[in-house]
């Protein structure tokens, strides 16, 4: 899972190439969807789920969606519509309303993992402009018991 590539796809390409045979899909959480489309074309055998962010001015992709992986439901969104830079209250309440097992979001350019009411909230950070200077992404594994997160750095 990646987010906030902002036109810089070199590291995303390297990561996807490294993991493509061991993952079911790549999730791009917005900013920029054109990067996700490029990556999707570069890796046509890999399933992609893409949502748009605050710097994406196309209506070709949803701003959020609920995907099902195995028996788990996951809300994917960029996060800007829920003011995640200042509070997690809105996104937590939104995810609870959807009764999901996990919520993946971006926008803050900082890796984050936390639980609220049994829901995993996961932000992969940014491969382009991480707040702490490191390039980050995340891997999520869906198990019968829940969704497990692995926060990674390039």
Q: What is the pLDDT along the chain (154 residues), one digit of tens a residue?
A: 999 999 999 999 999 999 999 999 999 999 999 999 999 999 999 999 999 999 999 999 999 999 999 899 999 999 999 999 999 999 999 999 999 999 999 999 999 999 999 999 999 999 998 888 899 999 999 998 999 999 999 9
Q: Count of CB atoms within 10 A of residue 56's CB? A: 20
- Residue 129 belongs to a domain: yes
What is the model's pLDDT at position 101? 97
Note down the domain range covering 134.
10-153
- Grouping H, G, I as helix, E, B as strand and the rest as coil, residue 77 is strand
Q: How many domains does the chain have?
A: 1
> Cβ distance 138 to 150 under 8 Å?
yes
β-pair partners for 116: 119
Q: Give me the helix-helix angle, 33-42 and 10-19, nearest 10°.
A: 40
- Residue 4 belongs to a domain: no
- Grouping H, G, I as helix, E, B as strand and the rest as coil, residue 131 is coil
CATH number at residue 110: 3.60.21.10
């Amino acid at each position: 899972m990646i987010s906030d590539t902002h036109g810089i796809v070199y590291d995303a390409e390297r990561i996807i190439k490294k993991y493509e045979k061991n993952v079911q899909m790549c999730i791009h959480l917005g900013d920029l969807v054109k990067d996700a489309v490029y990556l999707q074309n570069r890796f046509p055998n890999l399933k992609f789920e893409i949502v748009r962010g605050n710097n994406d001015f196309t209506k070709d992709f949803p701003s959020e969606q609920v995907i099902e992986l195995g028996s788990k439901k996951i809300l994917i969104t960029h996060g800007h519509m829920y003011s995640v830079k200042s509070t997690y209250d809105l996104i937590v309440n939104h995810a609870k309303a959807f009764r999901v097992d996990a919520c993946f979001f971006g926008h803050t350019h900082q890796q984050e993992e936390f639980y609220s009411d049994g829901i995993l909230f996961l932000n992969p950070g940014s491969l382009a402009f991480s707040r702490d200077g490191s390039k980050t992404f995340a891997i999520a594994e869906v198990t019968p018991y829940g969704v497990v997160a692995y926060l990674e750095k390039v």
